[in-house]
Amino acid sequence: MLVTVLLSLMMMAGLFLLLWGGVGFIQDKKFMSSAPKEALAVVPDRMPERFKGQYAVGYAMVTVAFALMGGAVVIGAWNGISNGFTFWQFFVRFMIMLLALKVFDVIFFDWVLLCNQGFGFFTHYYPQVGAVYNRSLFGYNKKDHITHVICFFPACALLSWICTLIG
């Protein structure tokens, strides 16, 4: 269980790096597709570089983010195979990892950073969203969150099945 919790934290760190790299450094509207439509209406398509190499830093952060999240899945699979996990043990591990990531997304990203403008995160990089982001936006993407959770079940089942075939 401790390994699963650590892997979940690894995925959360990756998701945060992904957000920070996209919002803070790449600053391209195409990376904000999940933002509320009210925010998309006020942000420019691409912000100018604040310093030389800013975009490169952002893409490096995004690369590390994907490596962290993918690495967590690979380590979780490898650890389970090494310990002789059954299909259901794999399934529970991957579901915990993905559901913990979704809870982190909803609570930290949506509620703290977006709806309560926590740490001034979004407004630091996009001052124009200051008047748009507020508590009334919470739940703007609930349909997407529900869809993701529903998709977790077959995805975890497939991944668990593959791991049991390898093991």
| Ranges of each domain in the chain | 2-166
151, amino acid identity:
C
pLDDT for res 45: 84
pLDDT recorded at residue 162: 97
The pLDDT of residue 124 is 86
Give, in degrees to the nearest 5, the angle at Cα 90 between 89 and 94. Answer: 120
pLDDT of residue 14: 98
pLDDT of 53 above 90? yes
Identify each DSSP E strand in 49-145 by its residue range. none
Is residue 112 within 8 A of residue 166, CB to CB? The reply is no
Report the pLDDT value the prediction gives residue 86, as an integer from 0 to 100: 97
At 163 the pLDDT is 97
- Specify the pLDDT at position 140: 86
What does the pLDDT read at residue 167?
80
pLDDT beyond 90 at 31: no
Could you give the 3-state DSSP secondary structure of residue 9? helix
Q: Is the pLDDT of residue 118 over 80?
A: no
Mean pLDDT over each residue of the chain, to the nearest integer? 92
Could you tell me which residues come within 8 angstroms of residue 48 by beta carbon, excluding any fewer than 6 positions away?
none
Nearest to 11 by CA among 65, 89, 82, 51: 65
Q: Between 85 and 28, whose confidence is greater?
A: 85
Query: In this structure, what are the phi and psi dihedrals at residue 137, rounded to the nearest 5 degrees?
Result: -80, -15
* Prediction pTM value: 0.90
Using pLDDT thresholds of 50, 70 and 90, give the confidence band for residue 133. confident
How far is residue 46's CA from residue 55's CA, in Å, rounded to a whole number? 11
Please work out, in degrees rounded to the nearest 5, the angle formed at the alpha carbon of residue 4 by the alpha carbons of 118 and 84. 165
Number of H helices, E strands in the chain: 6, 0
Q: How confident is the model at residue 56 (pLDDT cuts 50, 70, 90)?
A: very high
What are residue 28's DSSP bridge partners? 46
Residue 167 in contact with residue 85, Cβ under 8 Å? yes
